Structures are given as structure tokens and as C-alpha cells.
Amino acid sequence: MGKPIYVLSGPNLNLLGTREPEIYGHQTLEDVRVLCEARARSLGHEVVFRQSNHEGVLVDWIQEAREAACALVINPAAYGHTSIALLDALKMLSIPVVECHLSNPAAREAFRRETYVSLAATGLVSGFGANSYELAVEAAAGLVR
């Protein structure tokens, strides 16, 4: 088994499944982890699945992924719309980066239509609820040489 796919989630996603199910679905982040692990394993990969509410912690994990991961999937949550620090960290990666969102931010409020993270992402999966993560893992695996 090679290096794992890192799957990182940003602020408030630890509460997934507890509110706004019409936007984000009923599944918890633990459910999402199980889906990602299963999809990755079926494709011959392991995942490292982590969530943080703290921007600097996410930056640390992105930096760690430079050496430790074969690809990175990230749902930056609200930091995607605000964080140049995440963008700068992602730009230092030479592995595939797949941005993922549960909802489709492009179809929501104007402030969600731009994400800094997209500037460093190989591609974006959004709007499919928990399946966005699975699809993002599949896309990431497909990009790994």
C-alpha cells in the first residue's frame, strides 16, 4: 500500500448531520469517513481522515501532506471563502488536490461563489452531499500516478 489520500474537513463540519439537513444532508462526518474509507479501499488506497475548526491546524496538515500523502481531498468549509493561508499552503503541494463541498456553493449566497481554495485545486466536486466526498476520493485516486 502506498501513501494515503488525506481527506481534510474545515470548521463546523464536526457538527454535520445535526442541522440544516435540507442543505447538507442527514449523514454525520463519521458516516462520511466510513464512505471515504470504503471507496478508497476499493481503489487500493488508505485515507487519513481529519477535521479541524482551526485554520492553522489545517495549514499544518496540508504541509504534512506534502510528504505523507499521495493526494489531498479538502472541504475547507467557510475557510475556502476567506483563507489565503490555506491557499498558500495548498500551492506548495505537488500532489493532486480535489476540493469538495457537500452543497453547491455556486448556487447559494454570493459570498460563497468564490473560493480561494479553487485557485490551487486540480478539480472540484460539489453539491452531492456526502457523496461529494466519495466522488472526490475517487477523482483523487484517479489522479495518482
Query: Contact residues for ligand CA2 (CB under 6 A)?
Result: 12-13, 15-16, 18-20, 24, 75, 77-78, 101-103, 105, 112
3 state DSSP class of 126: strand
Catalytic residue among 6, 79, 101, 133, which?
Answer: 101
> In angstroms, what is the minimal distance from the CB of 65 to ligand CA2?
19
> In angstroms, what is the minimal distance from the CB of 2 to ligand CA2?
28
Q: Is 74 exposed, middle or buried (0-12, 13-18, 19+ CB in 10 A)?
A: buried
C-alpha cell at 34: 466510513
> Radius of gyration of the chain from Cα atoms?
14
Query: Does the annotation mark 101 as catalytic?
Result: yes
Cα(5)–Cα(98) distance, rounded to whole angstroms?
A: 11
Q: Indicate the length of the chain as a whole number.
A: 145
> In angstroms, what is the minimal distance from the CB of 3 to ligand CA2?
25
Query: Does the annotation mark 81 as catalytic?
Result: no
Looking at the Cβ atoms of 27 and 71, the one nearer to ligand CA2 is 27
Q: Which residues belong to the active site?
A: 24, 101
